[in-house]
Chains A and B, each alone.
Chain A
Amino acid sequence: MLEVNDLHVTVDGNEILKGLTLTINAGEVHAIMGPNGAGKSTLSAVIAGKDGYEVTQGSITFEGQDVLEMEIEERAQAGLLLGFQYPVEIPGVKNIYLLKSALNAQRAARGEGEMPAPEFMKLVKEKLQFMKMDASFLQRAVNEGFSGGEKKRNEILQMLVLQPKLAMLDEIDSGLDIDAMKVVADGVNSLRAEERAILLVTHYQRLLDYIVPDKVHVLVDGRIVKTGDAELAKALEANGYEGIEESAA
């Protein structure tokens, strides 16, 4: 589904990713772990299309399409969706408007018409309940005045409504208390499906107790230095990244 090959990325002239290679197949849940500054967030930002990241070498393809040639919105319409570590507050734009515009943009890209309002509301209401969010959220401006936990839930809510093919979640556990973490994890787990893949970017192993990955990659200094299963994350928790770096060297 997603092929990242020998990816080199610089930000302000500094090379952050130094030849990253990663393959994610449909149905898989991958976790990328690594110390601060390893390039974890850079990877998801480049895949999503954020400005300021220069790809100097390598490629990213999604279902055979060259991702780097696609506009930001085209990537999302194709089913590549990023959940932010720090969701942006958008004063004046109601959540419901964002959801509806986004869903209809995706449908339009597939040549489908707009979802009728009653059907849409039914869908949104169901997802809200799943995320234990009050319907009043819909009328509030996107993330404005939301607590950290509410913002993260809102990211997952968007995922549940938009049903991406590849959901990338950047530090989705940061700033969450244990109850919120469970709700968020339930949301993510509900996305698990044969035709879908999930990429978790996380600093701590804690999240992986709730969302058990198929594969864990350790990202150090712009490269994946080790890949394993969920047990690898536990080993990291016990021994830290330093041991991995040494064994990789």
Chain B
Amino acid sequence: MIASNAEVLNFPILTLLVVLPVIGSLLVALLSGSRPEWIKLTALVSSVSTAALSLWLLAVFKSGEAGFQFVSQHVWISQWGISWHLGVDGISLFLIVLTGILFPLVIVGIDPHHNETSYFAWMLLLQAGVMGSFLSLDLFLFFVMFEIVLVPMYFLIGGWGYDQRVYAATKFFLYTMAGSAFMLIGIITTVALAHRDLGVVTFDLVKIAEGAKFSTNTARWLFLSFAIAFAVKVPLFPFHTWLPDAHTQAPTGGSVILAGVLLKMGTYGFLRFGVYLFPQAAMWARPAIFTLAVIGIIYGAIAATMQRDLKRLVAYSSVAHLGFIVLGTFALSSQAVTGAVMQMVNHGVSTGALFLLVGMIYERRHTREISELRGIQHVAPIFAGVFTVVMLSSVGLPGLNGFVGEFLILIGSFGPARWWAVVATVGVVLAALYLLWAYQRVFHGEPDEANSTFKEITVREGLLMSVFVAIIVVSGIYPKPILDRIEPSVAALIQHVEGQTK
């Protein structure tokens, strides 16, 4: 299972991806007293070099290989069989790249307005945690990273959010922590039971998944304990109620990161841990999860349609989109899972961009009420154009990235989950409805007095958005290089599942 590129093996690239942001964060915190002008620069240098590193990883990643690459493993807590074990494969590769490039964009593109030092320090710490979650191949390490992410996010929402920020931040923290409480028990039990089959106590994901056998009932309970944590994180209906609050109250940068990469920790976790460790139990739980995912798709879409607040609308659209991803993940056909992985990245890009745009609207108008906005197209045509592209990507228009993912998910799920896929397709239509309707209300019509002074997109904002638009268009027109890298790992996972369930 473990393959690696010989020529770069000695260079601990994955470890650096986690450590660099931590160093950046510490530097920011330490510099604050003596050199306030260096704060943003340090944050930027740290995040840009992480981004460069992640892009380099993308360049040297061997496509066509299914196993984990660049594996780095060091003993951490020998008494408990825990190691610092990182690795990347096709499933995590693009999430890592996304994490790598999203943070510098957020750091350069959005001003925190106050307390820069702590804002950037928390941001970089958050990046380290998210990177670590996507890279961990050790159950304990994954849990640590999964949980540690809560702390910076809590402070980002609580410190730089809007009116209800304390409520939203606390709710976010407690919901996620409650979910992971069950996962911790699940992890420890998994390790304790795997001990019998493996002969050693180890938290190594690959060893446990390949070597341990769990009885049917035990595996189901264990799967559920993991599933609760991930379902809260995704969030899957009915565990989603923290999300609209957190999204609406978070500062723009926080929302972008939350939608862009944080939610993916849930869907990624389902795939990497839930399905990989307990294939049989995952198959057993499929109908229930399909149902929740499809309810999420329809419910998220309807709720989004009803929203008066533009940001809340985007938040509910996330619930719907993540329903698609979960549907694809559990369809467990090669196409559907590949589509789900692709869609994780797509959603990160397009919803991240939508939150940025909504943030820009708020900067200008100090409101996100749809009814307060009107006719912006007339005064800011370029802004409206960018919004259109991003929105259409979110709707899933052919030629843009959103289409590729949703299409693969729906095709792939049609076999294993026919009627669920049929209902989910309605969600695609609804997505067009709520986004286009919102667009119509905000951008069409004659601008009233307050909206007539709406400022056109600035150069900085334009450059920022051009990165998103470029990704949206390029990966929509030519997704092959991306799919080529995702598919082998997905195929190997599906094979593992089929081998275990037959």
A complexed with B: no
